[in-house]
């Protein structure tokens, strides 16, 4: 069982004002989680969390992060524009992109962002398009497989991202010759793991790499970005990551590897998205149909266009039927949306309480990579986003799309003139 951060009476009042489906985010939970992360890494004076904008690209969410002292991690032109509009500037922006169009490097340079290069050939590309900044970062791909606790978490050797070890060293030397003065290393080797050993293990790899480069080239590393990858427990029985234990593990590796090498002032960065927002957002939908054929189906007013992860990855998202939290889960359902695709299912053969038309369903852990992955297949429209504020009021932070939005890019044809 998973607890919701909103109770039935609250949700009914919200749904009376804002039609389902909609996303709802918990401001109190978000702020508490940011502070928990910062406390875990308070031992490092240069620590900064660069929130992954792609996870939840909403201005109000970004403002919360800014107020809590975070930076932002951007990977596109529009994410840079959004972050700039919210008030992030300079080294509070990390720009990590790949196959990057020239105009994106130009804007990142204009904003003074920390540019994280994904490929050796991008050094010359950046020089030609925007110039080499004094502070630069390179993404490292160690190749092979990455293992924790005897379980393979990822296969970097099959990933399209990053420099090889040899390219990394050569790249830093070349960047120094081109005028760079401060250097950073970045790596992302696992996705959505709750294994507390992930960050400390990755930190060990990057710390040793930094020491090797320093001893061989004399180039000191100013910051190391552990990127994202720390996940959340989507299933009730899963154990959550212990961020305090993770922070302590990274501290231990820091003191064992960097400090003896004289690299005792390296700043540690993270760029978490799912860990920061995932549990603090949900998709709220309403049961509108039931179907009894070879299986039992409950049709809801949300679909994969609102939350893609179950259809795309077969991902599990826990579902609470509001008001029936303590009822026996004695009905087996597929919870489905309205797309003309048979994978448009939020749950398959899920044991749940009896669901009646009109029941509100909360789909948990949708705060990251939920609304941001929405799309318009079948002409379905993206849902509203709401913020449950600390004082228990609700703020509309993104309105639901309308048919006018859907047709806006066709209005030049004169077939769909805007209506008052």
List the beta bridge partners of residue 394: 388
248 vs 404: CA distance, rounded Å: 51
**Catalytic residue ranges:** 340
206 vs 196: CA distance, rounded Å: 17
Q: CA-CA distances (angstroms) from residue 162 to 97, 152, 174, 314, 363?
A: 10, 19, 16, 28, 35
Q: At what angle do helices 165-177 and 122-129 cross, to 10 degrees?
A: 30
> Peptide bond preceding 191: is omega within 30 degrees of 0, i.e. cis?
no
Angle (CA) 389-392-393 rounded to 5° is 70
**Do β-strands 221-225 and 182-186 pair in parallel, antiparallel, or remain unpaired?**
parallel
Contact 50, 225 (CB under 8 A): yes
408 vs 417: CA distance, rounded Å: 9
24 vs 14: CA distance, rounded Å: 10
Would you call 36 helix, strand, or coil by DSSP? Answer: helix
Two tokens, residue 401: 């799309």
Angle (CA) 314-316-319 rounded to 5° is 135
What backbone phi and psi angles, to 5 degrees, belong to 41? -115, 20
Q: Which residue has 């961020």 as its token pair?
A: 243
Contact 282, 371 (CB under 8 A): no
């Amino acid at each position: 069982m998973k607890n919701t951060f909103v109770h039935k009476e609250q949700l009914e009042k919200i749904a009376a004002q804002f039609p389902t489906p909609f996303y709802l985010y918990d401001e109190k939970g978000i702020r508490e989680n940011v502070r928990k992360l910062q406390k875990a890494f308070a031992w490092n004076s240069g620590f900064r969390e660069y929130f992954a904008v792609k996870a939840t690209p909403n201005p109000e969410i970004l403002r919360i992060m800014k107020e809590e002292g975070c930076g932002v991690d951007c990977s596109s032109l529009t994410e840079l524009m959004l972050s700039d509009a919210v008030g992030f500037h300079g080294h509070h922006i990390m720009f990590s992109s790949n196959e990057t169009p020239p105009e994106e490097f130009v804007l990142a340079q204009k904003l003074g962002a920390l540019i994280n290069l994904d490929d050796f050939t991008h050094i010359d590309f950046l020089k030609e398009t925007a110039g080499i900044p004094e502070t630069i970062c390179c993404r490292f791909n160690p190749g092979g497989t990455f293992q924790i606790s005897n379980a393979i978490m990822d296969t970097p050797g099959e990933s399209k991202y990053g420099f090889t070890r040899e390219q990394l060293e050569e790249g830093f030397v070349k960047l120094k010759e081109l005028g760079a003065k401060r250097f950073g290393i970045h790596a992302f080797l696992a996705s959505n793991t709750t294994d507390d050993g992930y960050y400390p293990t990755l930190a060990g790899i990057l710390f040793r790499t930094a020491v090797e480069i320093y001893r061989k080239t004399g180039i000191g590393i100013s910051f190391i970005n552990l990127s994202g990858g720390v996940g959340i427990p989507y299933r009730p029985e899963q154990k959550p990551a212990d961020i305090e234990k993770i922070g302590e593990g990274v501290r231990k590796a820091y003191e064992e590897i960097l400090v003896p090498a004289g690299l005792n002032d390296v700043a540690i960065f993270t760029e978490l998205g799912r860990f920061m927002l995932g549990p603090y957002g949900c998709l709220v939908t309403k049961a509108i149909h039931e179907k009894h054929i070879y299986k039992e189906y409950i049709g809801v007013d949300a679909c994969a266009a609102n939350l893609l992860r179950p259809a795309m990855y077969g991902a599990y998202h826990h579902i609470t039927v509001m008001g029936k939290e303590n009822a026996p889960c004695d009905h087996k359902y597929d919870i489905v949306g309205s797309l003309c695709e048979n994978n448009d299912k939020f749950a398959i053969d899920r044991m749940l309480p009896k669901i009646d038309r009109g029941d509100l369903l909360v789909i948990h852990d949708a705060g990251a990579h939920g609304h941001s992955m929405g799309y318009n297949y079948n002409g379905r429209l993206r849902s509203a986003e709401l913020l449950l504020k600390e004082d228990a009021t609700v703020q509309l932070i993104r309105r639901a799309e309308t048919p006018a939005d859907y047709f806006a890019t066709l209005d030049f044809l004169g077939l769909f003139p805007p209506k008052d």
